[in-house]
Structure 1
Amino acid sequence: MLLVYICEDDPTQREYIETYIKSYIMIEDLDAKLVVSTDDPHMLIETVQKNLGSTGLYFIDVNLQTDMNGLELASKIRNIDTMGKIVFVTTHSELSYMTFTYKIEAMDYIIKGNTGELTGRIRDCVEVAFKRYLSDKGEKQDTFKYKVGNKIRTVNYSDIFFFESSSTPHKIIMHLEDTHIEFYGTIKDLEALGGDFCRCHKSFVVNKNNINYIDKSNKQVIMNNGEGCLVSVRGMKNLK
């Protein structure tokens, strides 16, 4: 589901944006939901953290009259939701260049004033964000998502060579071509990936597409990058 967030300190403006988005979602019957509409950036961040892994669309007033302006809020959101779609709504067109300074990669910068134009731009942003959400959803089977700290990362299945249990309890090491990434998880959970992934040992799940050869005498699977992982008798049968 596409989750929509609004942070605007003008109550009249906030209510207008909120009402229009709710109406548009209902009329178009979108798999989307307005989860929070507030003037408190801290409340918004807290809600985003509770919905880690979900796709977010954010409408943010640049000139928030709080201890955190809209650009700072957007920067914090970007650190949590790396794929989120951020839209700035403001009366200060001269501040648009600041989005580059903060490296936010905003989806749009809407200037308040003309109600008709505001409505049209909001509609366009929701429509585009939803299409991208559907596109990402369609590619979900080809990507693996994992959590590091408060961030959700994504890696293509094809880039994964194998997973192994870490010496650190409840952690997994993911082996890519030239790097290792550690995150919380269990081998049992990864076994459920199925498809090109096979549990070849109690401590290893291997991507069959990245196997170079199987060393039966040493009970090892040698990957295309030269790394090896253990394979049990049962795992050998699964790989065959």
Structure 2
Amino acid sequence: MCEDDPIQLEQLDTLVENYILFHSDLFKVELQASKPEQVSNYLNEAEPQNGIYFLDIDLKSEIDGIQLAEIIRKKDVQAEIIFVTTHDELAPLTLKRKVAALDFIAKDQPLDDYRKEIYDTLDYAKQIIDETRTVQKKGFSFEVGTQVFNLDKSEVVFLEASDIPHRLNLYTTNGKFEFYGKLSELETKYTFLFRISRSCLINPENIHHVDFSIREVGFADGSSRKFSIGKSKKLKNIIQQTL
């Protein structure tokens, strides 16, 4: 959350913390900022994904809330941005600037109404996140250049680090793709994937056989990959669950 007024920032933080305490353990407050530069630094250091951002528009800075929202959108593409402001007349500008705000909440209203709007918006944000996670469990998305591919998770066989830095090789039931990405991020995003080594994630549904004597996983297309010795027990459990 970013608010230049310390009293209003503390009030907003208290309301959000109370919501988390009584409504959801899905969220936690990562940053209370009074300056947009603090948010920008956090984005660069933490590289958050699917964050929820409460922003004032007039931040008494060279960067206003709408400009900050643009920065956030570039770093955290699926961010949910909520403006908490006295300048709701600027809502059309956010459409023009394509920051796709989830809501505008007026600060200059009775506390009970203010609280209700914040809680209703967080309820809606939680609903969106839950629905997104449900879709992600069923599918797998990635980008190659300007093209976006959406696969059913059953099509994913395994992913591994490419010889080219920052690129990944994706092996599917229909062929091979190469795209920019990080295994750690995909492992977190797609819970159906299992890491068998530092450089490889697999979809257990597409395992053909496992040879524990040589620590090797075989797939239906005839390919195989080695797994780390420390993964043996977990791999046996996953195979049992999959079957």
State TM-score, norm by structure 2. Answer: 0.66
Aligned pair partner of 1:88 in 80, 83, 91: 83
1:195 equivalent in alignment to 2:205: yes
Between Structure 1 and Structure 2, the one with more helix by share is 2
Deviation at 1:70, TM superposition (A): 0.4
> CA separation of 1:101/1:28 partners in 2, compared to 1, >3 Å: closer, same or farther?
same
SS at match of 1:128: helix
Q: 1:111·1:118 contact (CA, 8 Å) conserved in 2?
A: yes
> CA separation of 1:163/1:207 partners in 2, compared to 1, >3 Å: closer, same or farther?
farther
Question: Quick one: which amino acid aligns to residue 205 of structure 2?
Answer: G
Deviation at 1:99, TM superposition (A): 0.5
SS at match of 1:7: coil
How far apart in 2 are the matches of 1:61 and 1:160? 42
Counterparts of residues 78-227 of structure 1 (less than 5 Å): 78-115=73-110, 116-144=112-140, 155-156=150-151, 157=153, 163=159, 166-168=162-164, 171-174=167-170, 180-185=178-183, 188=197, 189-196=199-206
Per-residue displacement from partner, 1:51-71 (whole Å, max 9, x unpaired)?
435431111011111121101
Larger RCO of the pair (alpha carbons < 8 Å, separation 6+): 1
RMSD over aligned CA atoms reads 3.7
Q: Which runs of 5+ in 2 are unaligned?
A: 184-194, 210-216, 226-243
> CA separation of 1:92/1:207 partners in 2, compared to 1, >3 Å: closer, same or farther?
farther
Question: Quick one: which amino acid aligns to residue 105 of structure 2?
Answer: I
Aligned pair partner of 1:8 in 3, 7, 21: 3
Question: Quick one: which amino acid aligns to residue 47 of structure 1?
Answer: Y
Aligned counterpart, 1:52: 47
Query: How many corresponding residue pairs?
Result: 200
Aligned counterpart, 1:31: 26
How far apart in 1 are the matches of 2:207 and 2:72? 33
Deviation at 1:147, TM superposition (A): 10
Aligned counterpart, 2:239: none
Aligned pair partner of 2:16 in 18, 21, 38: 21
> CA separation of 1:187/1:169 partners in 2, compared to 1, >3 Å: closer, same or farther?
farther
> CA separation of 1:72/1:187 partners in 2, compared to 1, >3 Å: closer, same or farther?
farther
> CA separation of 1:50/1:133 partners in 2, compared to 1, >3 Å: closer, same or farther?
farther
Q: 2:159·2:201 contact (CA, 8 Å) conserved in 1?
A: no
Between Structure 1 and Structure 2, the one with more strand by share is 1
> CA separation of 1:128/1:51 partners in 2, compared to 1, >3 Å: closer, same or farther?
farther
How far apart in 2 are the matches of 1:162 and 1:106? 36
How far apart in 2 are the matches of 1:168 and 1:19? 46
Per-residue displacement from partner, 1:21-44 (whole Å, max 9, x unpaired)?
111211224332111111121212
State TM-score, norm by structure 1. Answer: 0.67
Aligned counterpart, 2:238: none
Fraction of identical pairs, as percent = 26
> CA separation of 1:134/1:51 partners in 2, compared to 1, >3 Å: closer, same or farther?
farther
Moved more, 12-21 or 171-180: 171-180
Aligned counterpart, 2:191: none
